[in-house]
Structure 1
Amino acid sequence: MVDSTRPLPDAWWRDAVIYQVYPRSWADSDGDGIGDLPGITSHLDHLAALGVDAVWLSPFYTSPQNDAGYDVADYRNVDPLFGTLADFDALTDRAHELGLRVIVDLVPNHSSSEHAWFRAALDAEPGSPERARYIFRDGRGDDGEFPPNNWQSTFGGPAWTRTEKADGTPGQWYLHLFDPTQPDFDWNNPEVQEEFRSILRFWLDRGVDGFRIDVAHGLHKEAGLPDAPAEYDIATHATSVQPMWDKPEVHEVYRDWRRLVDEYRVEGEDADRILVAEAWVVPDDSLAKYVRPDELHQSFNFGYLMTPWTQRHQRESITNALAATAAVGAPQTWVLSNHDVPRHASRLSYDIDRPTRILGIGPDDPQPDATVGLRRARAATAVMLALPGSAYLYQGEELGLPEATTLPDDVRQDPTFARTHGEDVGRDGCRVPVPWHADQPAFGFNTTGKSWLPQPEVYGDLAPNRQDGVAGSTLEFYRRVLATRRRYGLGCGELHWQDLGEDVLAFTITADGGRRVQVVTNFGDTSIDLPHGELLVVSGSLDGHRLPTDTTAWVAPG
């Protein structure tokens, strides 16, 4: 077995570009309005042509779909909504034929309330082995009528739900940091630990190349489950201040998992199976602990995703992030959009300070400026894909898809919308099915025209058949950026800052062989001179030989 504490310096994941597919919204092969695994397989050639290295699939497991599959009832099977295990095997085989690795989602913080273990727990008595797999507690108050503590659900409302005894009287409470249909596991329980080792092996044996770990910072809670602080700001306070997040014990879980996945490494081959953390953790050095040499391979840099679009904020965020992971010998992992936040083609149109939370955008909110948003999104993408490390793309961003901001209330399905009574419209706006062909039903999502969420009309204009081969289109821009990144080896390069003025973000990346690429982004109101050299990439139109506002250029110095 290969020593995991000495990762290969050229291991594939250190500079990989990985593309997230949200299965229900990618492509629908059977016309029921919901995407599926055969639909994904049918469009994998799009990803190969785009130039990414791997595909990450959001959950497709058996689930009642109360939270779009992040409420898992059976971790070893495919929900009939999406297909079968045979369909998954066919998808994996086709991806590997195309040179694409396959990452699957793993949801270890909680299960569905329909999971066999939780059904058994509800039928069992307090103190039973069945209840010990989850976090059940007696309530406070004379009759246990109050929740065990003051914790709030991430989706809004209390993080506790009270059970009912067989005789109909109130019973214990159970913890759910998300929806009541998503009860939290107790990760102090050896049975829970062994179950997830078995789940990891099940999918590794089917040929997956890694796992994205949902709520990776939440598995262990502070002993005694104390009340959370009354005042807390996720943007400025260390995540570990909260008793439910970022506890030291989670790191032993990931050391154990790292040893397990390293059993699947092959000496002499660049075939690592990787573990990727979804960990909303601050500050940067706390997040870096998740990617120490004997733990996880990658952890999404959500601090970067939340960084305001200013030169000062961007440079500070990138500098701190690179320093934090360099201290543990790990690459950084960059991301701008995913299934939980508004698309950056809309989000970046707003001039705001660092948000404490990124809320959904609804029809009653100030609407994004589509032109400004896309211009900044392309410029931000050109910055991100030049940075050392790995990067993740979210489905449809290569088409320039904006957030769907005008969805009516009666079609929304995100539990956040209901649990906050509409205060947060939720995440449906970034989950709308992607278009494939402007002149087909549901813009080519299927042949019937059904769609589980309505697609904005503008999606038709952004379909691949309207952009393929069109100079200046967002699709062709992404293809060029990814090809140039690969050709110059930018993901494995070294960053050196340049000072070209307070409104200009500028750095050079020095890659293997001494080749250099200069990256310049103009945040000012007036155009600036382009650096001398060969223009490799530009995120928008030039102003003669000058770089306009909100535009990024890559130049090979002459």
Structure 2
Amino acid sequence: MPGIISRLSYLDQLGVDAIWLSPFYKSPQADAGYDVADYRLVDPMFGNNEDFERLLKEAHARGIKVIVDLVPNHTSDEHAWFQAALKSPPGSPERARYIFRDGKGKDGELPPNNWPSIFGKSAWDRVPGEKQWYLHLFDSKQPDLNWDNPEVRAEFEKVLRFWLDRGVDGFRVDVAQSLIKEKGLPDIDESQYTNEGAMVGPMWNQPPVHEIYRSWRKILDSYPGKRIMVAEAFVNPREQLADYIRPDEMDQAFNFEYLMTKWDASAYRSIIDSSMALPASVGAPTTWVTSNHDIVRAPSRLGLKELGRHAFPGNGIDASMPQPDEVLGLRRARALAMLTLGLPGSAYIYQGEELGLPEHTTMEGKYRQDPMFLRAKGKGLGIGRDGCRVPLPWKVDAPSFGFGPSDKTWLPQPASYARYAVDRQEDAADSTLNLYRKVLELRHDYKLGDGKLQWVDAGKDVLAFDNGDLRVVINMGEQATALPEGSQVLLSSEPLQEAGKLPGNTAVWLKRS
């Protein structure tokens, strides 16, 4: 927490309205904090609860809201509840907080059903010396809670109130579609199951989950000011995402389809239209996301010849794979930022995106910590998410590029991060950091988030739209294209070498006359 407090001035200067914190609760860190051992306690590695309250106070003093991550599907296996469950007999109230079932076979040697873990292998682990198994849709150190149990529901309502009482402005709800499982836990049709984002089956998107979020909405609305909930939810069919953002449930849901769109003008126009129409059908704003902690960073994704598998969580890049074109990827990422931040709705910027930071694509397996990588032993789709989670570079000539007091960081930083360091970009007028600062300033001045999109006819490989007094144009092709005559250029993602021409893989913001 003290580290974040020390960077609040940087975030203020960047121009953000809010920060979303990944889980900072007490945790053995088997999955980067998404294995929570105590939902009310800041992990000592990050500080303490008093530090968090100071962070809230100082962020609010700057007009920056704070959203915290809530992980309701599962706890850590080191949570007091699960430890009590292991020490209690089958059928006990302690076990009823989780999903325990007898195994199949003569001695219970087979899992209760054929559900796979998102992180690979079976979603069941056997209790040593017993016939019973426990469910974990993710890592074996993340046992799923039983949300049919009133005690579980009551506990999380208390957790919400605990953090709301301290002044948090809202919650990002992890895998919001996963809490309720179909009665009887039936086997799935394995031929239809995929770990590439679809998340279909009896463990996902069950209608009773909405009862939970309606109850949470009432709690948030009982507090002064606006307190929000944001859903991380992969649902199929996609139209059902609107169910999570009805007026009596959550406020927003992450738009992952936009993040996964290939570099193609028609594809982007299609996904922008559908992304705006779906939430509008229930009176909610859309969201725009181009990178996050589960996906290969945008500059590296966009520098690949084919997007393919790298658009899906956990399908990272290692040294054995074709490497991205770093120059092309950054150029496209800068242009995409101007397209994205020109759209109406809410935009989320992942840490380091404002620096143009690429993925660490050559990290050795011995350093990787993602349970997806560890469970798959680095094979198949299990390269994992470590490459997008590497600590940020702040200073070129400092240990760990200024991230900490020594050269040791929890994941290694590549030498290439030196050219992306904050202090190297601060005074460079054409740096990605200063591009983001200018874009966010103009987005605020022109009230683009509250605006309205109106498409403008453009040439092949080009998208153009008006949002209030501003026109956004992006050329996703390789050849330069003509800009409207008499255009007043406010900002461009790359220098415009030829007057009246927009180069390929470049975006521009124009002031409408």
TM-score calculated relative to the size of structure 2: 0.96
Aligned-pair distance for 1:194? 0.4
Aligned-pair distance for 1:69? 0.8
Q: Does 1:71 align with 2:13?
A: no
**Is contact 1:235-1:282 (8 Å) kept?**
no
Secondary structure, counterpart of 2:167 in structure 1: coil
Distance 1:140 1:235, change over 3 A: closer
Out of 247, 269, 272, the residue aligned to residue 206 of structure 2 is: 247
User: Any idea what the Cα deviations from partners look like across 1:10-68, whole Å, max 9, x if unmatched?
Assistant: xxxxxxxxxxxxxxxxxxxxxxxxxxx11111011100000000111101111111111
Look up the match of 2:412: 454
User: Any idea what the Cα deviations from partners look like across 1:385-404, whole Å, max 9, x if unmatched?
Assistant: 11111011111111111001
Q: Match of 1:460, as an amino acid?
A: A
Distance 1:472 1:434, change over 3 A: same
Aligned-pair distance for 1:237? 9.5
Distance in 2, Cα, partners of 1:124 & 1:189: 17
User: Any idea what the Cα deviations from partners look like across 1:332-367, whole Å, max 9, x if unmatched?
Assistant: 011111111111011111243665734111111111
Look up the match of 1:14: none
Aligned-pair distance for 1:170? 2.9
Distance in 2, Cα, partners of 1:289 & 1:534: 42
| Sequence identity (%) | 56
Out of 50, 57, 60, the residue aligned to residue 24 of structure 2 is: 60
Q: Does 1:539 align with 2:497?
A: no
Look up the match of 1:280: 234
Distance in 2, Cα, partners of 1:234 & 1:503: 32
Distance in 2, Cα, partners of 1:505 & 1:222: 43
The residue correspondences of 1:51-450 to structure 2 (distance < 5 A) are 51-164=15-128, 169-232=129-192, 239=199, 241-265=200-224, 271-352=225-306, 355=309, 357-358=312-313, 359-423=315-379, 424-450=382-408
Distance in 2, Cα, partners of 1:538 & 1:62: 44
Q: Match of 1:323, as an amino acid?
A: A
My pick for the range that moved more, 438-447 or 180-189, is: 438-447
Aligned-pair distance for 1:280? 1.7
User: Any idea what the Cα deviations from partners look like across 1:526-558, whole Å, max 9, x if unmatched?
Assistant: 101122432122112223121111111111122
User: Any idea what the Cα deviations from partners look like across 1:74-108, whole Å, max 9, x if unmatched?
Assistant: 00001111111111111111111111111111100
Aligned-pair distance for 1:320? 0.8
Aligned-pair distance for 1:234? 5.7
User: Any idea what the Cα deviations from partners look like across 1:446-470, whole Å, max 9, x if unmatched?
Assistant: 2322211111112122111111131
My pick for the range that moved more, 498-507 or 205-214, is: 498-507
User: Any idea what the Cα deviations from partners look like across 1:262-298, whole Å, max 9, x if unmatched?
Assistant: 0013xxxxx3111111112244321121111111011
Look up the match of 1:557: 512
Distance in 2, Cα, partners of 1:237 & 1:46: 34
**Is contact 1:306-1:354 (8 Å) kept?**
no
**Is contact 1:386-1:490 (8 Å) kept?**
yes
Distance in 2, Cα, partners of 1:350 & 1:289: 35
Distance 1:430 1:347, change over 3 A: same
Distance in 2, Cα, partners of 1:251 & 1:276: 14
My pick for the range that moved more, 458-467 or 281-290, is: 281-290
**Is contact 1:106-1:211 (8 Å) kept?**
yes
**Is contact 1:235-1:354 (8 Å) kept?**
no
Distance 1:147 1:234, change over 3 A: closer
Distance in 2, Cα, partners of 1:232 & 1:319: 28
Q: RMSD over aligned Cα, in angstroms? A: 1.5
Aligned length: 507
Secondary structure, counterpart of 1:394 in structure 2: coil
User: Any idea what the Cα deviations from partners look like across 1:475-517, whole Å, max 9, x if unmatched?
Assistant: 000001000000001111111112212311111113xxxxx21
Look up the match of 1:548: 503
Q: Match of 1:450, as an amino acid?
A: K
Secondary structure, counterpart of 2:329 in structure 1: helix
Distance in 2, Cα, partners of 1:60 & 1:199: 14
Distance 1:236 1:157, change over 3 A: closer
Distance in 1, Cα, partners of 2:180 & 2:336: 35
Secondary structure, counterpart of 1:194 in structure 2: helix
Q: Match of 1:380, as an amino acid?
A: L
**Is contact 2:470-2:510 (8 Å) kept?**
yes
Q: Does 1:526 align with 2:479?
A: yes
Q: Does 1:486 align with 2:440?
A: no
Higher relative contact order (CA 8 A, sep 6+): 1
Instruction: Identify unmatched segments of 5+ residues in structure 2.
Output: none
Secondary structure, counterpart of 1:179 in structure 2: coil
Aligned-pair distance for 1:233? 6.4
Secondary structure, counterpart of 1:475 in structure 2: helix
Distance 1:323 1:233, change over 3 A: farther
Q: Match of 1:80, as an amino acid?
A: P
Distance 1:505 1:232, change over 3 A: farther
Distance in 1, Cα, partners of 2:308 & 2:319: 23
Secondary structure, counterpart of 1:173 in structure 2: strand
Aligned-pair distance for 1:379? 1.0
Distance in 2, Cα, partners of 1:413 & 1:530: 47
Distance 1:353 1:407, change over 3 A: closer
**Is contact 2:221-2:227 (8 Å) kept?**
yes
**Is contact 2:304-2:323 (8 Å) kept?**
no
Q: Match of 2:257, as an amino acid?
A: G
**Is contact 2:109-2:131 (8 Å) kept?**
no
Secondary structure, counterpart of 1:95 in structure 2: helix
User: Any idea what the Cα deviations from partners look like across 1:95-137, whole Å, max 9, x if unmatched?
Assistant: 1111111111110000000001101111111111111110011
Distance in 2, Cα, partners of 1:354 & 1:361: 12
Distance in 1, Cα, partners of 2:496 & 2:106: 71
